Chains A and B, each alone.
Chain A
Amino acid sequence: MTTTVDDAEPGAVTTTVSRPRPHRALLFFLLKRVAITAGLLLGVTIVTFGLVTVVPGDPVTANLSDQALNDPATVAAFREKWGLDQPLYVQYLQYLGNLFQGDLGISQQTGRTVADDLLQYVPATMELAIPTMVLALLIGTGIGMLAAVRNGRVTDQLIRVGALLGLSTPPFWLSLVVLYVFFYQLGLAPSGGRLSTDFSPPPTVTGMYTVDAALAGQWDVAWDAAQHLVLPVLVLTSLTVAMLVRFVRSSMLEVLQQDYIRAAYAKGLPARVVFRRHLLRAGLVPVITVSGLAFASLLSGTVLVENIFGWPGLGQYAYRSATALDLPAILGVSLFVALVYTLVNLTVDLLYGLIDPRIRLS
């Protein structure tokens, strides 16, 4: 089969790609990505294991009290319990064996399985990341496009300065300012946490309080949980928007300067057609990549923001695990983050093909 893209309009880049069996190509592409992902995750376990052992610091020191450290029996019991008395390669092989059975191990910090921990902390982070990403895409794309079409004018200058300020603002500082203004001065939002102390968490379905409370019909809890989202989402959105605006602007500017856009206008195509068929599609491709990475970054943890707002998400869990040299937890978080990045990249690659047919999976 032979397809041509937009051959009705002169000036458009016409690419002909031979795709005899698209479904097979897609299947092959996905299988290849699964294999790469498996190799990547294996690599993550090796690197993480290696890094944790070369980093100065002993999990025993990080987990036992000072007096307990002076007691050889207590130290020996800890080493034996966590397998730290075994050679490193034995520890690694044991971990790998368990991993193949779906067992991520037990966190030295929480005493729970790492899988349980991830199931608790990931939804909390998702609850921040999803609205942040939706808002950031809407605002960032809109403002970025506005800056592009107003290139060089006052609006563009203001937007660029704003984006630069946004990118230069440390997240923890912005969190404190937002907290001071909206909680302390104006009393418009709660200070932190996921829920007011008057409420108990809703029955767990997704782990996201707003969703779970709505599913359970606990509207007062859902409303309270939604209010607790406002400030951290505001901070994260501001930071993500600042990044997106710059990419959207530069991407759009690049496309606007292409000959085929000029030609499209020259032949009298309506602006909305040019916008929808050419500008939006071509301009948003690089933005998808950046958005994907931004989303993955939000999911893999925004430690400082979570810390200021007392948000029990993956960022806090990762930080606590790292400072306690809690190897099973560190490995669990690393694997999760690697998986997120892989899936996001896969999604981005698939979206490329959907948005811009010139790009194919081959």
Chain B
Amino acid sequence: MSVSPRRLRVGAIALAALAIASSTACSAGGSGGSGDGGSAKTLTVNTSFVLKTLDPGRIYEATGLTAVHSLYDTLLTFEGSDVSKPVPALAESYEASPDAKTFTFKLREGVKFSDGTALTADDVVFSLNRLKNVKASPAVMVSGLTFAKTDERTVVVTSATADPNIPVVLAMPSTGVVNSKVAKEHGATDAADAAKNDTAQQYLDTNSVGSGPYVLKSYDPSAQVVLEANPNYWGDKPEFSRVVLRNMDVQTQKLTMQRAGGSEIALDISGKLLEGLPGSLKTSAMQDTVYFLFLNADPAVSPVTSNAKFNQALRAAIDYEGIAGLYGKGAAPGAGLVAPAYPGALPAEEQSKRDVAKAKALLTEAGLTNPTVKFNYPAITYKGVDLGTVATKVQGDAAEAGIKLELTPQPLTTFLDEMRTGKMALGFTPQSLNYPVADSLINNMSPGQATALRSGWTVERADPAVVTAGKKVTETLDLAARAAAMQQWQRAMNAASPYVVLASNSSTVVASGDLTGTDYTAAGWQVDLAAVGRG
């Protein structure tokens, strides 16, 4: 049956037409209003938010570090992209004792918080003690340190063990100095029980109480963070009076930068996404992330991966150049565990190379025929790289040498949990440093250390040469000599550790052509917002 009286039809058509017309009118309403790009005094920073808090005592995520670096001053800092040498900030100078256990900082005079009150040594000691006692993620950097003032302008930092890297730690945004009076009024405490009793996070997420070049105007952890120039800032005034950090999908960042009218930055365009960008944009990149495999050294977990010959065979089977190609522009084949951005990295000529024939021979020596291993990795895209794609490439390379890898992608939290149990035979993960000192790798990845134990790598199962090389690093107090010792440690690790470094990849800052001072820094804050100018 088909009942379709004319008037009924006309009515239906009219309703549909009206609806479409109203929709079109709404769409047209968007015309002419890109609105992106910002005004002359606004700097727009597009990034995929990794942001939980702006509380310096709790901060360790990328977006928060970038903002907090501009909100709070630290005793020392880094200039531009050079992370090898801390420079004065709140401290106009410092002295280190010969045993590298005591560091004395002289505070700059005349520094005021954004509310106009003077910054004192008490504020510094309070902030550092609070960081330590709140026991959030960044607390581990200062867990072995004690802080005291000797007069209104002098702060002494003492370490239980020799640690020449303390100045670097004291340049990290989490050591930012808060106005202790205001912070206390809103629930902050530096007491030993701060982990339980400090309630200042909610206030510090929406209000900044620092002395940095910017103050916090608004905070929305899903959408945007707005900073405004601090009228009481003691240093050079920043060029931009307003900075908007805007949450944006990576693909959208690229489209936005391609249309950028000016004064706009994107922080997540990396790898293959860098291809096709207009020449008018500036790109600054540093290789600060390494991607590595870890093989379990415990025979009870895997008799295959704990076999040293198998370990070497897998190393020889991998096409490092090909894997770096998957990462795109700014990547390089793996060399050592220290990413090229940091002091102590191995030179490019020591990058790993493929040798399938050697891999096959090593497998024969190991007494293994077509060994099969379960290969776990987190099913994520990290810095523009899908880890599944890389894992598939590793699987193909290994197969050519006669090694069968069973791909086991997992949600990130599941992967991390299983990795921590120490029962994973073969895993794959990216790694970035929390602060620009590679020594933490020794403390975590050397035999018997926490991360190493996740791979069943005890001191007993390790080559003594590796243990010795690690000790040499921690015992060397001169930083240049320490970097050289770090390289020796990596060579020993490449020869006999359960880690296989596949590639290192770059982090980037893509900026519109009118901007200056947009260098990417591996210091943690990605780009120094207050240093960005127009030129």
- A contact set with B: CB distance below 8 Å: 56-58, 61-62, 64-71, 73-74, 77-78, 80-81, 109-112, 120-121, 124, 131, 135, 138-139, 141-143, 145-146, 148-152, 176, 179-180, 182-184, 187-194, 196-201, 223-224, 226-228, 230-231, 233-234, 237, 256-257, 261-262, 265, 270-272, 274-275, 279, 307-313, 316-317, 320, 323-325
Contact = CB atoms under 8 A, between A and B. Distances in A.
Interface in B26-78: 26-39, 42, 44, 52-53, 55, 58, 60
Nearest to B26: A230
A46 B220 CA distance: 31
A244 to B, nearest CB: 11
A237 B222 CA distance: 23
Contacts of A233: 26
Contacts of A187: 34, 259
Interface stretch (B151-159, B164-172, B407-415, B494-502): B407-415
B36 to A, nearest CB: 6
B195 A226 contact: no
A198 B35 contact: yes
B300 interface: no
Given A62-B413, A149-B8, A197 B195 contact: no
Contacts of A194: 223
23 contacts: A56-B417, A57-B416, A61-B416, A67-B434, A70-B450, A73-B143, A77-B196, A81-B195, A81-B196, A110-B53, A111-B202, A135-B23, A142-B12, A142-B19, A189-B27, A190-B34, A198-B39, A198-B42, A271-B6, A310-B247, A310-B249, A312-B220, A312-B247
A268 B30 CA distance: 48
- Dominant secondary structure of chain A at its interface with chain B: helix
Please indicate which of the listed interface residues A80, A112, A176, A198 has the most CB atoms of chain B within 10 Å of its own CB. Answer: A198
Contacts of B136: 64, 68, 74
A194 B44 CA distance: 14
B224 A307 contact: no
Contacts of B16: 139, 142-143, 145-146
Interface string B236-262: 000000001011110110011011000
A180 to B, nearest CB: 7
B27 A234 contact: yes
A65 B222 contact: no
Nearest to B5: A271
Contacts of A176: 251
Nearest to B15: A142
Given A56-B414, A135-B23, A271-B8, A111 B30 contact: no
B442 to A, nearest CB: 12
Contact of B248 (A150, A193, A323): A193
A68 B131 CA distance: 13
A198 B246 contact: no
A194 B201 CA distance: 26
Contact of B195 (A77, A135, A141, A224): A77
A189 B135 contact: no
Interface string B137-160: 111110100000000000000000
B252 A110 contact: no
Given A120-B220, A307-B249, A317-B222, A190 B3 contact: no
Contacts of B39: 198
B15 A138 contact: yes
B218 interface: yes
Contacts of A309: 249, 252
B7 A271 contact: yes
Given A111-B52, A192-B248, A227-B29, A58 B444 contact: no
A306 B4 CA distance: 41
B480 interface: no
Contact of B221 (A68, A78, A110, A234): A110
B194 to A, nearest CB: 9
Contacts of A191: 34, 36, 248, 252, 255-256, 259
A184 B226 contact: no
B15 A141 contact: yes
